[in-house]
Amino acid sequence: MRDINISELERKFQEKIDNDVKIEPNDWMPEEYRQTLIRQISQHAHSEIVGMLPEGNWITRAPNLRRKAVLLAKVQDEAGHGLYLYSATETLGADREETIDDLHSGKAKYSSIFNYPTLTWADMGAIGWLVDGAAIMNQVPLCRCSYGPYARAMVRVCKEESFHQRQGFEIMTQLAQGTPEQKAMAQDALNRFWWPALMMFGPSDADSKHTAQSVQWKIKRHTNDELRQQFVEVTVPQAELIGLTVPDKDLKFNEANGHYEFGEIDWTEFWEVVKGNGPCNKDRLDARRKAKENGMWVREAANAFAAKRAARKSA
Amino acid sequence: MNSLFEYVLRLGDDSLILGHRLSEWCGHGPILEEDIAMTNISLDLVGQATSLLGYAGELEGKGRDADALAFLRFDREYKNLLLVEQPNGDFGMTMMRQFFFDAYRKPLFEKLQHSSDKHLAAIAEKSLKETKYHLKHSSEWVIRLGDGTEESNARVQESLNTLWRYTNELFFTNEVDAELVEKGIVPTMQEIQNEWNATVTAVLNEATLTIPTNNWKQEGGRKGLHSEHLGYILAELQYMQRAYPNMQW
Ligand SMILES: [Fe+2]
Ligand SMILES: [Fe+2]
């Protein structure tokens, strides 16, 4: 009896998805759908928050007041993205602090790109251009994701990400047109961030575990390789436009089919960084853990204060 | 001496250096909401610094713009308060520093928005809106932490004791102020100080904190004689402009 009911519910659920009707928090959903979304959205939220660190690293050294303000605003946007996304996981029944503790214990993942160091000012340009650019490729399709709160959060996030991407490209353009030192700085940043940016789309389709089911549920609409290809198509001409060289000797434009072909990604590096062996994994997690630990007394005080006020009111 | 230049420079440097200090929190705040709030305040202060230093450059008339003033002076030429260059410490220290500053800036901008100098009045009017929000935010935290747990009360009392010695300098005046008060461009410091005293007493009382009896007073920032901290702030702030001179970014 129960089995029949469940399969009936599942049928209706899939029917909604097939008809592009959004799933809302109070609707019935398969447990696996819920868990997949919690994992995906919280991973996304963690990426926003950890992503504040490499760029936060240059705020105090930004070269002029305008760039400083733009960078501050950008990093603040990322914190805002983290907030909406944690809220979206809460609509699925996840607890924000538990989710964050999973990040701190190393159980939950975040985008590996943030495990690379920001060594020069040009990295602020490269990150905006490439990393926010890749994030947009990943996230635009999510604006049509089957889960309502996630889709709506993505609409807002994508608007801001495209603003970030333009600002990053503007920094790179300025540098590429600048003095020889500036141009070298821009090229060096592109050299270091190009491959990690391509890795942001995840393992190649052949090695990706979750794709098929996620496509059926419309949590994912394109495969990793499709999105990566799209990113290359858009980004390579931008690099050429400002006179920078993409660090890939196998990169070429295929006249016959009108697409770029690019070299093999170093998947060993990718998996090492995912496992925690990237240049900054430890620093990033330590910084996040330390922020939480150092903030415990503040939370406790805020809670104690709120309780006192509530007691005084009811007395 | 160009008194109005000097006066606007003080205001601009306060915003610049405090904005710098707050920006150090970005990504490391105790709660995500506070990370956002501190970044927001920092952003307001950087914006104020841009307007104020830009205007100071015009008043000086030597072709220096806001960036030239922000990034290319030596430490003795910065006229910010010692208070704003003090290290962030813990979150309570940062909020206490902010509270002392906001409680001074709010009445100051309230008066300056009516200055006979129209440009300064316009900057003050815009900054006042932001400063009111900053003061509300910092007072609420001082109260929450003071009247929170035993630990938070002890911590924030310690911050109060540490920072109290820098509060007297908020009301520093010299011939610059005398001239501008005379001309009706700026208010007397006495008015500002009275309001600051009233705000600080009320908030610290509500926070169940005790004003230190030690009246040891530090000053020097307004004269360009700073604490050891400013040099390190400038080393970071000016790094790019010093390492790569005369370039566009
Ligand atoms: Fe973001
Ligand atoms: Fe972004």
pLDDT band, very low/low/confident/very high, at A209 (cuts 50, 70, 90): confident
**What part of A 171-190 touches B (C-beta under 8 Å)?**
171, 174-175, 178-179, 181-182
Yes or no: say if B146 and B110 are a contact pair by the CB < 8 Å rule.
Answer: no
Yes or no: say if B107 and B191 are a contact pair by the CB < 8 Å rule.
Answer: yes
Residues of B in contact with A295 (CB under 8 A): 29-31, 34, 91
**Rounded Cα distance, A221 and A17, in Å:** 12
pLDDT at B55: 98
pLDDT at A214: 87
Identify the CATH number of the domain in which residue B146 sits. 1.20.1260.10
Give the helix/strand (H/E) hosting A104.
Answer: helix A96-105
Number of separate helices (H) and strands (E) present in chain B: 11, 0
B29-to-B16, B19, B25, B90, B162 alpha-carbon distances in Å: 20, 15, 6, 10, 21
pLDDT band, very low/low/confident/very high, at A314 (cuts 50, 70, 90): confident
Average pLDDT, chain A: 95
Closest partner CB to A56 (pick from B27, B148, B241): B27
Distance from CA of B192 to the nearest CA of A (A): 29
- Phi/psi of residue A121, nearest 5 degrees: -60, -35
* Ligand 1 centroid, distance to A53 Cα (angstroms): 12
**Rounded Cα distance, B106 and B139, in Å:** 12
pLDDT tens digits for chain B (249 residues)? 699 999 999 999 999 999 999 999 999 999 999 999 999 999 999 999 999 999 999 999 999 999 999 999 999 999 999 999 999 999 999 999 999 999 999 999 999 999 999 999 999 999 999 999 999 999 999 999 999 999 999 999 999 999 999 999 999 999 999 999 999 999 999 999 999 999 999 999 999 999 998 778 999 999 999 999 999 999 999 999 999 999 999
Distance from CA of A53 to the nearest CA of B (A): 6
Give the residue among A263, A275, A255 at the shortest CA–CA distance from A198. A263
**B216 touches A at CB < 8 Å:** no
CB spacing of B148 vs A75 below 8 angstroms: no
**Rounded Cα distance, A168 and A161, in Å:** 10
Give the residue among B233, B211, B216 at the shortest CA–CA distance from B20. B233
Yes or no: say if A47 and A114 are a contact pair by the CB < 8 Å rule.
Answer: yes
Per-residue pLDDT at A2 exceeds 60: no
CB spacing of A76 vs B40 below 8 angstroms: yes
Which residues lie below 8 Å from residue B215, measured CB to CB, with a gap of 6+? none
Q: Classify residue B249: in a domain, yes or no.
A: no
Q: Classify residue B220: in a domain, yes or no.
A: yes
pLDDT at B1: 67
pLDDT band, very low/low/confident/very high, at A215 (cuts 50, 70, 90): confident
pLDDT at A313: 86
CB spacing of B70 vs A65 below 8 angstroms: yes
The total domain count for chain B is 1
Which residues lie below 8 Å from residue A57, measured CB to CB, with a gap of 6+? A118
Look at chain B and count its residues.
249
Distance from CA of B61 to the nearest CA of A (A): 20
Q: Classify residue B74: in a domain, yes or no.
A: yes
**A310 touches B at CB < 8 Å:** no
**Which chain B residue is nearest to residue A286, measuring alpha carbons?**
B28
**B35 touches A at CB < 8 Å:** yes
Q: Which residue has the tokens 């006249």?
A: A255
Q: Which residue has the tokens 């469940």?
A: A6
**What part of A 101-160 touches B (C-beta under 8 Å)?**
121
**How confident is the model over A167-206, as pLDDT tens digits?**
999 999 999 999 999 999 999 999 999 999 999 999 998 8
Which residues lie below 8 Å from residue A293, measured CB to CB, with a gap of 6+? none
Mean pLDDT of A134-158: 95
- Tokens for B213? 């009896």
**Rounded Cα distance, A247 and A266, in Å:** 13
**How confident is the model over A89-134, as pLDDT tens digits?**
999 999 999 999 999 999 999 999 999 999 999 999 999 999 999 9
Q: Classify residue B248: in a domain, yes or no.
A: no
Helix, strand, or coil here: A166? Answer: helix
pLDDT at A6: 81
CB spacing of B148 vs A302 below 8 angstroms: yes
pLDDT at B219: 95
pLDDT at A291: 97
**Rounded Cα distance, A154 and A141, in Å:** 9
Mean pLDDT of A250-278: 96
Question: For residue A164, which ligand has an atom nearest its CA?
Answer: 2
What DSSP designation does A263 have? P
Give the residue among A103, A69, A88 at the shortest CA–CA distance from A157. A88
Give the residue among B245, B148, B167, B145 at the shortest CA–CA distance from B211. B167
At A267, the amino acid letter reads W
Q: Classify residue B126: in a domain, yes or no.
A: yes
pLDDT at A207: 81
pLDDT at A3: 60
- Phi/psi of residue A119, nearest 5 degrees: -95, -25
This prediction has a pTM of 0.96
CA atoms within 13 A of residue B124's CA, in its CB half-sphere: 23
CB spacing of B30 vs A52 below 8 angstroms: no
pLDDT at A167: 97
Number of separate helices (H) and strands (E) present in chain A: 13, 2
Question: For residue A81, which ligand has an atom nearest its CA?
Answer: 1
Residues of B in contact with A62 (CB under 8 A): 240
Give the residue among A194, A196, A186, A199 at the shortest CA–CA distance from A246. A194
Output Rg (C-alpha) for chain B, integer angstroms.
Answer: 18
Distance from CA of B190 to the nearest CA of A (A): 33
Which residues lie below 8 Å from residue A253, measured CB to CB, with a gap of 6+? A259, A260, A261
Yes or no: say if A121 and A165 are a contact pair by the CB < 8 Å rule.
Answer: no
**Rounded Cα distance, A110 and B62, in Å:** 50
Q: Classify residue B119: in a domain, yes or no.
A: yes
Distance from CA of A198 to the nearest CA of B (A): 25
**Cross-strand bridge partners of residue B111:** none
Closest partner CB to B147 (pick from A178, A296, A305): A305
Q: Classify residue B215: in a domain, yes or no.
A: yes
- Tokens for B14? 């306060």
Closest partner CB to A68 (pick from B34, B40, B46): B46
**B92 touches A at CB < 8 Å:** yes
Q: Which residue has the tokens 């990169």?
A: A251
Indicate the pairing of strand A252-254 with strand A259-261.
antiparallel
**Rounded Cα distance, A209 and A212, in Å:** 8
pLDDT at A205: 85
Question: For residue A165, which ligand has an atom nearest its CA?
Answer: 2
Q: Classify residue B54: in a domain, yes or no.
A: yes
**B171 touches A at CB < 8 Å:** no
What is the residue range of B157's domain?
Answer: 3-243
User: DSSP string covering A201-245, please?
Assistant: T-S-GGG-SSHHHHHHTTS--S-HHHHHHHHHHHHHHHHHHTT--
